[in-house]
Structure 1
């Protein structure tokens, strides 16, 4: 069961990374470099694995939900900052 969830996490990461890869074949609007794929892969995999650790270690279902939502919010904020630099940090190259 545990390894099945890991396979699901890896599959979801690959599918999500295929979206911009396929889009790059049809339009010039999507212009990802290999470093973009690596960074996003690390972010997605890290998020999935952190949520998996929370699911295994945290007992209360409310606590699991809150912690996983916090992890997902962190992923979203990092993604937005890297994409458009909404916070204006040097992290995004602004």
Structure 2
């Protein structure tokens, strides 16, 4: 896989993930995302994609690339969970 293909995949994945709630908003009453919800999700997903792309370009050791990428994805998941349901009880917690 070339670097261009990797970069394309890294930035296409968040766009595809954002299409799921977009389609859900049009087809189901269970999805109730506002424009700000999509904006926050886009910042989180594309920010994570940017950091992973940066890590893939800068770090040469494969083990460190994988471990750093996993740490970034775990941080994304914890942030997303906090915003959604408030697992840590911060002022940004969702209901």
* Structure 2: runs of 5 or more not aligned: none
* Structure 1: runs of 5 or more not aligned: none
Q: 2:49 is matched with which residue?
A: 48
- Aligned CA RMSD, in angstroms, stands at 1.6
Give the CA deviation at 1:2: 4.2
Q: TM-score, normalised by structure 1?
A: 0.89
Query: Does the residue aligned with 1:20 lie in a helix, a strand or coil?
Result: helix
Alignment coverage as a number of residue pairs: 94
Could you report, residue by residue, the CA deviation over 1:32-82 in whole angstroms, capped at 9, with x for unpaired residues? 000010111011111111011111111111111111110000000000011
Q: TM-score, normalised by structure 2?
A: 0.88
CA distance in 2 between counterparts of 1:6 and 1:33 reads 29
Residue pair 2:82, 2:94 contacting (<8 A) in 1 also: no
User: Which protein has the bigger helix share?
Assistant: 1
CA distance in 2 between counterparts of 1:93 and 1:82 reads 5
Give the CA deviation at 1:5: 3.4
| Runs of 4 or more above 6 Å deviation | none
